[in-house]
Amino acid sequence: MGNDIQEIEKRLYTPEEIDFLKTFYPYIHNQDLAEILGRSAISIGGKACTMKVHKCKGFYKLNMRRVSAIGREKVPHRTSYYTKGHESWNKGKKISDEHRQKLIDSSYKKGNIPFNIKPIGATRNINNYNEIKVDHAKWIAVSRYNWMQVHGDIPQGYVIFHIDGNHLNDHIDNLCLITRGQMATINRHYNGLTPELKEVQIIINQIKQLIK
């Protein structure tokens, strides 16, 4: 049997067989084509690949109906799903008191606190910025937190700027309050300045803003 298959695989495809595959390969299952041409399904698939012939969309819809082009039943792609009219094995059965208690004991209780939750005041580093937890599921930048502890709320449209360019240096002496427009100007034109000159430029920009 093995030798017969090998002989079939070695046999070259005739021009008629090639034309047949070009015409019917997109619509007929490989196993059906193999039976028609007297070849193996693997050989059919390999030849179609070399010819760059592919199955059409309609073929996959037909295959999902489990009926081949010549009427042969095929195994469906999915066999583990529930069919219409299926009844669960535990339909009408009541849960035992022991099982109910296990569910109660293993489920989360109202107000339960996960073991790995971070306490308020905990810090973390996200994208090279330090953050501090100020409330449940609420984190803010440490720079903003430190500024608000000293100067109060940050006005809308303003941001906290690190004077020395080090985003991890959140000391209050390294922080200043500037507008988003000033931030864009500094990032675009004065990014290479030293911390001292950058601080002077920030003051100049703020004075210009007041004059306007």
Average pLDDT for residues 149-164, to the nearest whole number?
A: 89
Q: How far is CA 70 from CA 28, 65, 73, 89, in A?
A: 8, 13, 9, 38
Query: Hey, what amino acid is at 188?
Result: R
Q: What does residue 62 show for φ and ψ, rounded to 5 degrees?
A: -65, -40
pLDDT of residue 141: 93
Angle in degrees, 0-180, between the axes of helices 41-51 and 2-10, rounded to the nearest 10 = 20
In this prediction, residues 183-202 reach a mean pLDDT of 70
Q: Are 124 and 131 in contact (CB under 8 A)?
A: yes
Q: Give dist(CA 69, CA 151) in Å, integer.
A: 79
**3-state DSSP assignment of residue 7:** helix
SS3 183: helix
Per DSSP, 67 falls in state: B
CB–CB of 146/154 below 8 Å?
A: no
Q: Which of 6-10, 15-19, 147-151 has the lowest mean pLDDT?
A: 6-10
The average confidence (pLDDT) of the chain is: 78
pLDDT at 164: 77
20-52 pLDDT, tens digit each: 988 888 888 888 888 888 888 888 888 999 999
Q: What is the pLDDT of residues 128-146, one digit of tens each?
A: 899 999 988 899 999 999 9
Residue 28, pLDDT score: 83
Residue 80 CB-half CA count within 13 A: 0
Identify whether the C-beta of residue 167 lies closer than 8 Å to the C-beta of residue 129.
yes
Can you tell me whether residue 178 is helix, strand or coil?
A: strand
Q: How far is CA 69 from CA 117, 136, 170, in A?
A: 59, 62, 72
Has this prediction a pTM greater than 0.85? Answer: no
User: Token digits for 181?
Assistant: 């427009």
- Tens digit of pLDDT for each residue in 44-95? 888 999 999 888 877 766 665 544 444 454 444 455 667 788 888 888 888 8
pLDDT value of residue 112? 77
Residue 175 pLDDT more than 70?
A: yes
Rounded Cα distance, 13 and 44, in Å: 10
CATH architecture of 123-211: Alpha-Beta Complex (3.90)
